[in-house]
Every structure is written in C-alpha cells, then in structure tokens.
Amino acid sequence: MSTPVSVVMTVAPKAPYLPETLRTLADQTFQDWELVFVLDGECEQNRAATEFLPREKVKYVLTPAPRSGVATGRNFGLAAASHELIALLDADDLAAPERLAKQVERFAAEPDLAALGTWAQKIDIQGTRIGEMHPPIGRDKVARTLLWFNCMIAPSMMLRKSVAQGLGNFDQRCTRSEDYDMWLRMLGTHGVDVLGEELLSYRVHPNQHSKGTMLDGQAERLRESRMAAAERLGVSKLGAMARHGAWLGVQLANRRW
C-alpha cells in the first residue's frame, strides 16, 4: 500500500507558467496525491488552471491577506494537508514524471528521513535547458554544506509534515529564506538528503521569488539557526561564525542586502 502525498503549492495571482506545472503533476507515475493549492491572493485565472484536475484531488486554501508570502502560504498548506508526506512544488517549475514515486520510495526505505530534495536542470522561460543544479548527496555532506549555504532546491523537496510542524513551521519572518531556515533547524536531529537524479526543471526568469532582496532580520534569524545546527553537529562556535560570515559575504557580493 503506497503512502499518499500532499503537494503544497503557493501561487501568486496570474501565475503564467501554472498550467504547464500542473500538467506535470497530473502526469506523475505516482497518482496517490492531493494538491493543496494555496492562493496567495484570490485569482480566477489560477483557479481555472486547475479545472482539468479531478475535483477530489484539489484542496483550495486562501491566505489571510494577498501576497502574504511563501512562508505563510506553506504553513497554511501544511495545516490543510491530509497526509504526512509533503511535496513542495512552485508554480513555475516542472516535475519529472517519476519524481513523487522515487521520493516516496526513499521515505519508505528510511523512516528517520525528514526531508529529501533532488537534483534539477535549469530551464529558461521557453523551457530550454540552460544549466544544472546538483547538490551534494549523502546526509553528512548535505549537512556540512548547509552550514555554508543553502544547497537545497526548495521546489524539489519532500518532507514530513510532523517534523516541520514540530519545529514550529516555516518562519514567517524569513520572507525569502524560509526554506533555508527550516533545513538548518532540521540538522543534527533529523535526516536531510538529496536524490542524485534530475527530477525537477527549475525555471529561471526575472520575476521568480528567489530573486528578491535579503533583509537584516532574516540574516539574524539564519545566524541563530546556523549556530544551533552547528552545535548539534559538533562544529565549533568559531567555525560556525566563520561559515555565517562567508555566507554574509556572498549575499553582499550579490547585492542581496
């Protein structure tokens, strides 16, 4: 008997790539899923895009205010999800047909696994391959890399609802780093790993969420989460501070401050 999956998708109004994304969900080889469709602002165009999906597979959720942000949307999605396994998927990315099946299989084999990402290919607005995203594989390598920077690809992630909620959900203060903060809070007590297969097409375009600026408050929250994770992993305070300093340097160089 398969373990069902809740696919949580937070969608801003008038998402241009949404129909293509939803088609890749419909074409999954693993079909025991529900879509928790979080409308971050009411939009008939987005609702209409889901009409070809079976009604019983779609659960609509509306955030308390338009453009509440990804962290708020994902938390509302977690609360509404019927199942323990949560697959994140963004409205501009494409899931490979076997994505859910392979992640569910891995969770079944590793009961202590809390979060599992995949490799991805980068695509442009036309869907043409323009690069690749290959995070490290293996729990230890993933953990050590996460202390330096966010190597995980959020829309490729599958996680356990009970773990995320047990850690206090996604931090709504981290408007553009909520995923990184969550993975850091998992380290040292929960398994985090990556499947070394390109099971996602990550679309690069000018308006994507990850291209926004990083705010001071988020950096402080990430510093706290990084320091706590480093302590759990046996990394010295000095080492943790060096890693955070290096991360800050990259943000400054990329003008994300």
Write the class of the CATH domain 5-253: alpha beta
CA dist 257 and 255 (Å) reads: 5
Contact (Cβ atoms closer than 8 angstroms) between residue 86 and residue 163: no
245: its two tokens: 């300093």
Q: DSSP letters of 141-185?
A: HHHHHHTTS----GGG-EEEHHHHHHTTSS-TT-TTTHHHHHHHH
Hey, how many other C-beta atoms are within 10 angstroms of the C-beta on 26?
Answer: 14
User: Residue 2's pLDDT band (boundaries 50, 70, 90)?
Assistant: confident
Q: What is the pLDDT of residues 232-246, one digit of tens each?
A: 999 999 999 999 999
Residue predicted with more confidence, 209 or 26: 26
9: its two tokens: 């998708």
The mean pLDDT of 206-234, rounded to a whole number, is 79
Burial 27-47 (b: 16+ CB within 10 A, else e): ebebebbbbbbbbbbebeebe
Q: What is the pLDDT of residues 136-189, one digit of tens each?
A: 999 999 999 999 999 999 999 999 999 999 999 999 988 889 999 999 999 999
Q: What is the pLDDT of residues 28-50, one digit of tens each?
A: 999 999 999 999 999 999 999 99
Q: What is the pLDDT of residues 176-208, one digit of tens each?
A: 899 999 999 999 999 999 999 999 999 997 765
> What's the pLDDT score for residue 22?
98
pTM: 0.94
Q: What is the pLDDT of residues 61-117, one digit of tens each?
A: 999 988 899 999 999 999 999 999 999 999 999 999 999 999 999 999 999 999 999
| pLDDT at residue 215 tops 70 | no
| pLDDT at residue 14 tops 60 | yes
Q: Where are the domains of the chain?
A: 5-253
| pLDDT at residue 6 tops 90 | yes
120: its two tokens: 């991805």
CA 159 to chain centre: 9
197: its two tokens: 């297969």
Contact (Cβ atoms closer than 8 angstroms) between residue 11 and residue 46: yes
CA 62 to chain centre: 19
| pLDDT at residue 212 tops 70 | no
3-state helix, strand, coil in the chain (%, to 5): 40, 20, 40
Contact (Cβ atoms closer than 8 angstroms) between residue 167 and residue 208: no
The mean pLDDT of 1-13, rounded to a whole number, is 92
